[in-house]
A and B are shown apart, each in its own frame.
Chain A
């Protein structure tokens, strides 16, 4: 039950939904990020403080009088979530942290790969005991689909346009897993909303691991990718099955698990998405398609996925 601001009216909730990420949030129908967050919090439990940089997650969970967080949550600036998380942890430690409260950052690809990269690098360097989870929808969705350094090769966004000879993003996305590993982060993994049991196991490991942990999740966005909302989980699954998003796990720099796949053609993942449509309509872009196929093959070889 929620008591109205003025204390006059009492407002009863429609249900007693017992999720730490409450319904009524403002994410678009079928948002992959919303599935990720709900699943993450199911594993972290209530004894967690979440930090989020600016982005869709922050926006859809925190309108005035509409917070969907059932755990303590703080919004940083776009660029400094890891530094804020360090501050929260320092505060907890200064008080002795009697309940063993954990600090988790959940941030978008823009906030992580781009503008928050320096701050994240500092958090990794300091070996702060924080779990950082990046929900990667491969562009700046909240401001209208601008390309980020997580946007893959060949993807059309408003800043990587598709016109004439332009085929969208001209370079590959950054390898954030390799960047985290290069910092000596003791627990680094990728996870998918198409495999929630694996995600939960990894969130648990990331929480229990002393020192920093990093988990990268691909969270499809129907608005930015151009597909039907019902296909969100299906596309997350196809990204894994094609080899384009390998599910891997590293402990102290060593690869300790990689999800085996029976590879499906990359077209099965690309074709349902508008952001890749031009590659199938114009013969002069076959090189780009070929490069995407090669990327999948390279991943399969690199992590021995078959």
Chain B
């Protein structure tokens, strides 16, 4: 018997879901301050922080605006802005 496709759950399918729409505040990274320590990337519950060549970059497609990154950044390189939609 074939399984109906409706019963199939694919791995990591949540990546389709734009949780960035939930956000009321947006974290803003000051790349001149960022020391690329990766703390924000480790602590982000939604895996939104990527450490690039010139500093942390926020993935706004998923970022829910919890601002844990801002709070935990050891050099205060992250500030918040009110999200305007």
Contact = CB atoms under 8 A, between A and B. Distances in A.
Interface of A: 2, 5-6, 11, 13-15, 17, 19, 21-32, 34-35, 38-39, 61-71, 193, 196, 228-234
B9 A67 contact: yes
Majority secondary structure, A binding face: loop
Nearest to A68: B14
Nearest to A38: B47
Given A17-B47, A35-B43, A66-B17, A232 B11 contact: no
A229 B22 CA distance: 13
Contacts of A22: 11-12, 14-15, 47
Q: Chain B interface mostly helix, strand, loop or mixed?
A: loop
Contact of A232 (B18, B64, B68): B68
B5 A17 contact: no
Nearest to B71: A230
A66 B14 contact: yes
A38 B14 CA distance: 14
Contacts of A64: 9
B62 A23 contact: yes
Contacts of B12: 22, 67-70
A23 B47 contact: yes
Contacts of A66: 13-14, 16-17
A95 B19 CA distance: 40
Nearest to A27: B45
Contacts of A17: 15, 47, 59, 62
Contact of B70 (A21, A61, A193, A230): A230
A37 to B, nearest CB: 9
B45 A67 contact: no
Contacts of A228: 67
- The residue among A14, A19, A234 with the most chain B CB atoms within 10 A of its own CB is A14
A23 B13 contact: no
A28 B15 CA distance: 16
Most buried by B among A19, A22, A69: A22
